Amino acid sequence: MSRLAGQRIVLGISAGIAAYKSAVLARLLKKAGAEVRVVMTEGAQAFITPLTLQALTGEEVRTSLLDPRAEAGMGHIELAKWADIVLIAPATADLMARLAAGMADDLLTTVCLATRARCLLAPAMNQAMWSHPASQHNAATLVEMGWQQLGPDAGEQACGDVGGGRMLEPEDIIKALEAALSGHFPAPGALPLDATPEHDNHAPTPDAFMPAGGETHAGALAGHHVVITAGPTREAIDPVRYLSNHSSGKMGFALASAARDMGARVTLIAGPVTLATPEGITRINVICAVEMLEAVNAALPDCDIFIGCAAVADYRLADIAEHKLKKVPGSAALTLNLIENPDIIASVTDRECPPFTVGFAAETRELARHAHDKLVRKRLDLIVANDVAAPGLGFGADDNAAVLYHLEPDQPEVPVTSHTLSPRAKQDLASAILVYMLPLYHGHQPMRSPVCS
């Protein structure tokens, strides 16, 4: 049986071309066993008629705050109290702006302001509108207020543009809604009126945010820019040879996809790998460590979270040979003069106002000791340590395992083993890492210097 069975859902529909999908969504909600009552904005009725939604739900569709018959019994308050869930799909840029401002100038926004139900929205707008700082600010504000954001998706849009901002397909919204009912998101309004949400003072216990069955927190990173490095670097010896390592980039690409699925704007800085670019992600290709550092520096000004997953070569040639080095007859050895490469992740944390920074430690022995050393030495907020000597895990493999470490603010000398993640597919591992990171990241924000705020 679906988790939606018996749930009382107010389906809000605002004025976007994606409103036609709401008819399918209403049908799927009813099919899952939910009770559905539809509230439409005035503009939504230009795209789909109330009669269509009434036929699909079997319930009268509400369209006006100033309906004398409904408001004789304070209908908007009764509707707000009736709902277990308020789901807005599509949620236009205008509606999100009004919700973020706390406006109550029509029936839908009034119900949202009056309800203590779980609130979710599925953004739908042109890619330029979605990427605009105002829209990103409003999305982030709504997430902070307790709204869960579903999507948006990326791809071709009705206007012909291509990019982020497409409303999720109704089937995907149903899946996300069922995932939300698994208990990993607290319902907005679940606290007493005089209570202060826990995240206002300090980060919740990270274990409370761990996903079940690979589920992720859709929208949890909406409005945030995540920069991720992935893959190896190649340090040229001559025109045909180079120094490198076995990194395939799979873990970094999985993290990029997971961050995108949580609503983040993602910049993926990739070394030389053969992986396809995940949809909806900005990819920057580099070859060597110096190029990767330049790309990172260019992406940092508006970066909120930096994840250094790349296996950056520690050394490069002091002088790259102009022509192919030839084997000298009778010579038993070749000496290469190596110099240290720039430490990319240390250069990020050395900034006056660094982003929340996650590092990786790929080790073959003494995992905890080396991870703790790197965590402290590079002033990381979180480190993901994995044993690359374990058979079938790590470099080149599709599966991986990890131990996550971070420091307590009041005990910086004591390492805290945050969580051990057992072997699993790298995509599932990436989701688990980011979900664990969320409360640490939100707890990091109040501690930032006023100069950085």
pLDDT digits (tens, 9 = 90+) for 49-85: 999 999 999 999 998 876 655 554 455 688 889 999 9
Is 306 one of the annotated binding-site residues?
Answer: no
Summarised one tens digit per residue, pLDDT across range 323-340 is 998 888 877 788 899 999
Is 354 one of the annotated binding-site residues?
Answer: no
Identify the active-site residue in 119, 159, 288, 303.
Answer: 159
Give the pLDDT mean for 196-213. Answer: 33
Is 308 one of the annotated binding-site residues?
Answer: yes
Other CB atoms within 10 Å distance of the CB of residue 418:
18
- pLDDT, residue 187, reads 35
279 or 418: which leads in pLDDT: 279
Q: Note the helical H segments in 286-414.
A: 289-299, 344-349, 367-377
The domain spans of the chain are 8-195, 225-324+332-452
> What is the token pair recorded at 361?
């430690």
Active site annotation includes 159: yes
Give the separation between CA 296 and CA 348, rounded to whole angstroms.
8
Locate the DSSP E strands across 221-281: 225-230, 235-238, 241-243, 265-270
CA distances from 77 to 104, 216, 359 (A): 12, 32, 48
Checking if the pLDDT of 300 tops 90, the result is yes
**CB of 436 within 8 A of CB of 210?**
yes
Amino acid identity of residue 386, one-letter, is N
Other CB atoms within 10 Å distance of the CB of residue 155:
14
> What is the token pair recorded at 77?
């308050």
- For 8-195, CATH number out of 3.40.50.1950, 3.40.50.12160, 1.10.510.10, 1.10.10.10 equals 3.40.50.1950
- pLDDT, residue 195, reads 27
Which percentage of the chain shows pLDDT scores above 90? 47
Give the pLDDT mean for 425-450. Answer: 78
Other CB atoms within 10 Å distance of the CB of residue 323:
8
Give the separation between CA 441 and CA 255, rounded to whole angstroms.
16
Checking if the pLDDT of 299 tops 80, the result is yes
Q: Which of 138-142, 180-184, 206-210, 344-348 has the lowest mean pLDDT?
A: 206-210
SS3 8: strand
> What is the token pair recorded at 324?
């192919």
Cα 307 → chain centroid: 12
Percentage helix, strand, coil for the chain under 3-state DSSP, each rounded to 5: 35, 25, 40
Checking if the pLDDT of 219 tops 80, the result is no
Q: How confident is the model at residue 198 (pLDDT cuts 50, 70, 90)?
A: very low
- pLDDT, residue 425, reads 86
Is 344 one of the annotated binding-site residues?
Answer: yes
Is 67 one of the annotated binding-site residues?
Answer: no
Give the separation between CA 271 and CA 287, rounded to whole angstroms.
5
- Upper half-sphere CA count for residue 397 (Cβ side, 13 Å): 18
Phi-psi category of residue 180: left, alpha or beta, with phi > 0 → left and psi -120 to 50 → alpha? alpha
Checking if the pLDDT of 390 tops 80, the result is no
- pLDDT, residue 177, reads 82
Give the pLDDT mean for 41-52. Answer: 93
Give the pLDDT mean for 369-379. Answer: 88
Is 426 one of the annotated binding-site residues?
Answer: no
CATH number of the structural domain 225-324+332-452? 3.40.50.10300
DSSP one-letter string for 362-392: EESS-HHHHHHHHHHHTT-SEEEEEETTSTT
**CB of 62 within 8 A of CB of 37?**
yes
Helix H or strand E encompassing 412 = strand 411-425
Give the separation between CA 282 and CA 267, rounded to whole angstroms.
5
Counted residue by residue, the chain has a size of 453
Checking if the pLDDT of 97 tops 70, the result is yes
Taking only Cα atoms into account, the Rg of the chain, rounded to an integer number of angstroms, comes to 25
- pLDDT, residue 349, reads 94
408 or 192: which leads in pLDDT: 408
Give the separation between CA 336 and CA 190, rounded to whole angstroms.
64
- pLDDT, residue 410, reads 53
- pLDDT, residue 194, reads 26
**CB of 342 within 8 A of CB of 312?**
no
Residues 6+ apart with CB under 8 A from 414: 407, 408
